[in-house]
Copies of this chain bind each other. A is one copy, B any other.
Amino acid sequence: MGATKTDHFTDKQNTIATLAKAIGHPARVAIIEYLMKVDSCICGDIVNELPLAQPTVSQHLKELKNAGLIKGDIEGNTICYCIDEKAIEKLQNYFGYISTKLINKKKDCC
């Protein structure tokens, strides 16, 4: 085997997993943070900001886009990517939900 059994889990669980997985690489965290920092969406200099080759960055961008974390496309010969706020909100809500649930939990160990 080796393939994730996505069909055995709920859509919500798969959605969270997909989003989290996309952020689960420091290069993609760095990309998100760079997109956040820059005012404009025209971010042709992402490659210069990262210690990775252009094809690698392009691949990471593709993964972020497939996961729904960023949106946009090329415009002329510059890329135009920006964070999809809805995805970030989903994650924020999810972890917020877990946090509040944990506060109301009685603990008998750990």
Interface residues of A (CB under 8 A from B): 4-6, 8-10, 13-14, 16-18, 20-30, 32-33, 36, 39-42, 50-52, 71-72, 75, 80-83, 85, 88-89, 91-92, 95-96, 98-99, 101-102, 105-110
Q: How many of these chains are in the complex?
A: 2
Distance A6 CA – B80 CA, assembled complex (angstroms): 26
Decide: A95 and B95 in contact? CB cutoff 8 A: yes
Decide: B5 and A52 in contact? CB cutoff 8 A: yes
A78 to chain B, nearest CB (A): 11
Given contacts A23-B20, A92-B96, contact A41 B108 (CB under 8 A): yes
A3 to chain B, nearest CB (A): 12
Decide: A17 and B9 in contact? CB cutoff 8 A: no
Distance A21 CA – B6 CA, assembled complex (angstroms): 16
Distance A6 CA – B27 CA, assembled complex (angstroms): 8
Distance A52 CA – B7 CA, assembled complex (angstroms): 12
